[in-house]
Amino acid sequence: MENKHGLSEVMDTMISKVHEMVDHNTIVGEPIATPDGITLIPVSRVSIGLGSGGTEYGTGNHFAGGGGAGVRVDPVSFIIVKDGSVRIMPVAVPAIHTVDRVLEMVPTVVEKVENIITKKKGEDIVL
């Protein structure tokens, strides 16, 4: 039988509290339908930090410990769906890192490739 106490109990409590605060709806929000047929889907970036520590002391198997957690939610963009087309409208601060810039460019590149394929329909496409 497992004797569950101490640090593992502190970590379990912290993780369950963070799980209560953040779920999949925090990252990709509930769709919002507008009267003119546009659907907006909010997208956020979630950052989580956890820390804990503790020790057993004395001869009576006493435990002292604690922990902390932080959650940061940053709005990133809206996915806009209208008349069968999908766009991404960024709402965050411009990307600083190269990876962030590349990820922001993906929807634009996909849209341009779709336009090229549509225009060249029936012609041989050379990549």
Q: Which tokens sit at 52?
A: 């804990």
Query: What pTM did the predictor assign?
Result: 0.51
The H or E element that residue 76 is part of is strand 62-82
- Helix, strand and coil content of the chain, in percent to the nearest 5, comes to 30, 40, 30
Residue 5's pLDDT band (boundaries 50, 70, 90)?
Answer: low
- Look at residue 119 and tell me whether its pLDDT is greater than 80: no
User: Looking at the chain, how many residues does it have?
Assistant: 127
| pLDDT computed for residue 54 by the predictor | 78
Residue-wise pLDDT tens digits, 57-115: 777 777 788 777 778 888 888 999 998 889 988 885 665 667 767 777 778 887 887 77
Query: What is the C-alpha separation between 88 and 77, in angstroms, rounded?
Result: 7
